[in-house]
Chain A
């Protein structure tokens, strides 16, 4: 565990990242268009990456580093999928054989 000023720094940064998570949730709920929501979801992923990183420092562990990487990749994939869906209506296009 971490004592002293560093603890407060980490605590505050956790609080701030939580606040920004709440802010992205607000955008996610409010809309007004689907694109806004998808962007909010993407930002939520980034925020969570930051929060997990801070938390890992707080716990002094490397166990969550894979989670950070994975959120990065998957949030990207998710956003791409949403983007394709909004643009074309489908996610995976079939080959047109006929």
Chain B
């Protein structure tokens, strides 16, 4: 089974070769033909695992990546991964085939397109096959990035770029939340493997981190799957080429969140919070998407909102189904478990009919030059095949027989009717959403294909080439086939997946289902009839009530909120930065000093480090005090000086007094050095005096003066406190006793010089280096005048 690694690695391995092939064969052969075999190979690889999986086994492979951190590329193929694997590779094959006819080999940068697409395909396969959650996260982010690249494929368009940015911001936000959730999850379970997490169930549910982990991971899943209120990126992602929309934004990437929820249902499911969050948000999304789809005038935007709504449907089913894990055995339990099955079934159905619809819309766009419903009409006779395909897809989406959407819609009604014992609102909302779904499906088909042909179209409309029609025909055929023979799929693919989502029930053998179109006259059938009747009424009266949409305030739309909050954040951070980054060094100095005061002073206060112990102080004599007074006077003179010369003189006298202090404290070498340095500094001051402006009386406002005074006072107090406390605390014994052997060890009678050149000669060497650097620096500053330097000198 190790060859599976190779098969799944092929998208990544092949993508660097794509540009080479593109360069060599363009424009003779369309680059897509070279890529086409990859999804086909993967598809057959997945098909070959079906016998193993349907017998109840799973395939697990592990390849070390960062073994010391227990992060490995672990492939886990069970029923759930199989569904997604088949969808990704199968729809991927059709989409690449479609794109060969859709994208022109003369005009488009095809190598970019196929590299991005292959990266996406590989990443998506990685997401659904990874058992290690951190590997899963890596692939998850790769899907975000490759999706970003694909949405902005026509990067010269402003709308493509903004759509790509929006989707990246939202999905990466969710991805990061999910990463945090994963980390919490590993902290709780002490494992990185999802399979092992399921085994340590009992401990997790009572853990204090359980809820945060669940919410964070759900945010990740909801953003990726365009659930309310994170759904706004999906309609804007429709700026991508249509094959991308069909592949990423209907069949695969948006289902990554669904996959994650389904995959983690055994871990988190069974609790009330999970149930209400997943099913509640799912229902809201279902209603929101179907409600908004009706008002769209762009076909792809309509399909985007319908995708949102269908994803909400699947999500709510997953939520409802999680109740099965909480209940004891009985009829209710199996009934709730059926919701999970329905979710998986509809997942497959949705991929088929939505992929088909996107491709049809792409064909319309390609052949007429517009996707605007208001400009289209009467295409039925011009494009009969496309019309048939659109009809099949739409009716399946609306949930009518004889298409697979009918089966999953009936099962959906069964599930929500079951849940009516929890809340009556659930079936009612679901039913209303289904009516709205019916309405937009009607709009999509009949506004586009019937009525009068309009003559404003940019191109002479005609039927698409056969190659472009084959992929949607295959999908539409699946739509019909799945209606008549659903049980083959159920037995070989859906049943193992169902078992993977609800492992405890699978062990009890409770998961059996037989899907058939006809159940007799049941409430579900009546609900479907109601959907058709009310849907037709609403469609006929559409013009009258469509004005309702205009009454909804623009300011409350999610997009508006997103845009304004983005703008606000930018202007807020800009004004914030402008406020504190003033460009004035004085302000920055105030920040730095205040930080020192707060950090050092706070640490001193909170660690109770302020200790004054006068008993350790040495005694002092009266002339030391008098000298101190002289120093203070000199220092204050520097502060209050009216002319620069006065302050230079005062600094000089301060230096002389320090020399005397060094003498008093018996440090002859220091006194010597201090004296020389002091004199040179004074001379240097005088040297640059000529170039300095006159010391001006500064008109600083009073508050600034007060702040300056307070800060300088505080820093002085803090430093004094630190010094006194350092002296007050008992210190370890000094090491200076060692240096008293200077004569024996280094042959030196001067202990200070012995330390400087012998014991700690390295410091001296580097100080010499500092001096030479300073000298060189001064020299270059004076001698080397780059452009502009001379002008400064003249002025």
Contacts and interface: CB of A to CB of B under 8 A. Distances in A.
A28 B649 contact: yes
Contact of A19 (B626, B650, B652, B656): B626
Interface string A52-87: 100100010001101100110011011001100110
Contact of B686 (A40, A45, A71, A91): A91
Contact of A66 (B622, B659, B672, B687): B672
Interface string B644-675: 01100110110011011001101010011001
B645 A34 contact: yes
Contact of A22 (B621, B630, B645, B664): B630
A56 to B, nearest CB: 8
Interface string B330-357: 0000000000000000000000000000
Contacts of A75: 656, 679
A41 B690 CA distance: 21
Given A45-B656, A81-B682, A91-B687, A28 B650 contact: yes
A40 B690 CA distance: 23
B578 to A, nearest CB: 42
A82 B686 CA distance: 7
Contact of A67 (B643, B649, B672): B672
Chain B interface main SS type = helix
Contacts of B634: 25, 28-29
A15 interface: yes
Given A67-B675, A70-B675, A81-B686, A14 B623 contact: yes
Contacts of A25: 630, 633-634, 653
Contacts, number: 114
A48 B659 contact: yes
Interface string B685-700: 0110110000000000
Given A18-B627, A41-B652, A82-B686, A71 B633 contact: no
A77 B621 CA distance: 32
Given A18-B627, A67-B672, A44 B656 contact: yes
Interface residues of A, number: 44
B629 interface: yes
A67 B675 CA distance: 8
A78 B686 CA distance: 10
B723 interface: no
A85 B657 CA distance: 23
Nearest to A15: B623
B675 A41 contact: no
A20 to B, nearest CB: 10
Interface string B590-611: 0000000000000000000000
B29 interface: no
Contact of B646 (A37, A52, A55, A64): A37
A26 B678 CA distance: 21
Contact of B675 (A14, A44, A71, A81): A71
Interface string B462-499: 00000000000000000000000000000000000000
B790 to A, nearest CB: 15
A34 B626 contact: no
A59 B672 contact: no
A1 interface: no
Nearest to B636: A29
Given A29-B650, A67-B671, A70-B672, A22 B626 contact: yes
B676 interface: yes
B649 A38 contact: yes
Contacts of B689: 85
Q: Interface extent on B, as a size class?
A: 35 or more
B663 A52 contact: yes
Interface in B212-237: none
B637 interface: yes
A11 B690 CA distance: 44
A11 B621 CA distance: 10
A43 to B, nearest CB: 10
A41 B687 CA distance: 18
A59 B666 contact: yes
Interface in A1-58: 11, 14-15, 17-19, 21-22, 24-26, 28-29, 31, 34, 37-38, 40-41, 44-45, 48, 51-52, 55
B537 interface: no
B679 A15 contact: no
B482 to A, nearest CB: 97
A40 B653 CA distance: 9
Contacts of B659: 48, 67, 71
A84 to B, nearest CB: 8
B440 to A, nearest CB: 88
B683 interface: yes
Given A18-B626, A64-B671, A52 B660 contact: yes
Contacts of A34: 643, 645-646, 649
B687 A77 contact: no
Contacts of B666: 59, 63
A58 B653 CA distance: 24
A24 B649 CA distance: 12
Contact of B663 (A15, A21, A44, A67): A67
Nearest to A36: B649
B686 A21 contact: no
B660 A48 contact: yes
B722 to A, nearest CB: 29
Nearest to B683: A81
Contacts of B663: 51-52, 55, 64, 67
A77 to B, nearest CB: 6
Contacts of B649: 28, 34, 37-38, 40-41, 82
A41 B653 contact: yes
A71 B634 CA distance: 19
A90 B90 CA distance: 88
A29 B666 CA distance: 28
A66 B679 CA distance: 16
Contacts of B690: 89-90
A4 B672 CA distance: 31
A40 B643 CA distance: 17
Contacts of B682: 78, 81-82
B676 A70 contact: yes
Given A22-B626, A78-B683, A66 B668 contact: yes
Contacts of B668: 63-64, 66-67
Nearest to B689: A85
A45 B675 CA distance: 10
Contacts of B687: 90-92
A19 B439 CA distance: 104
B544 to A, nearest CB: 94
Contact of A44 (B622, B653, B672, B683): B653
A59 B652 CA distance: 27
B652 A78 contact: yes
A15 B622 contact: yes
A2 B675 CA distance: 28
A37 B622 contact: no
Name which of B633, B634, B668, B672 has the most chain A CB atoms within 10 A of its CB: B668
A51 B676 contact: no
Contacts of B686: 81-82, 85, 91
Which 4 A-B pairs have CB atoms at the shortest separation, nearest pair first? A18-B623, A74-B679, A18-B626, A37-B649
6 contacts: A15-B622, A37-B649, A44-B657, A48-B657, A66-B672, A82-B682
Given A48-B656, A63-B668, 6 more contacts: A21-B657, A29-B634, A38-B649, A55-B663, A64-B668, A71-B656
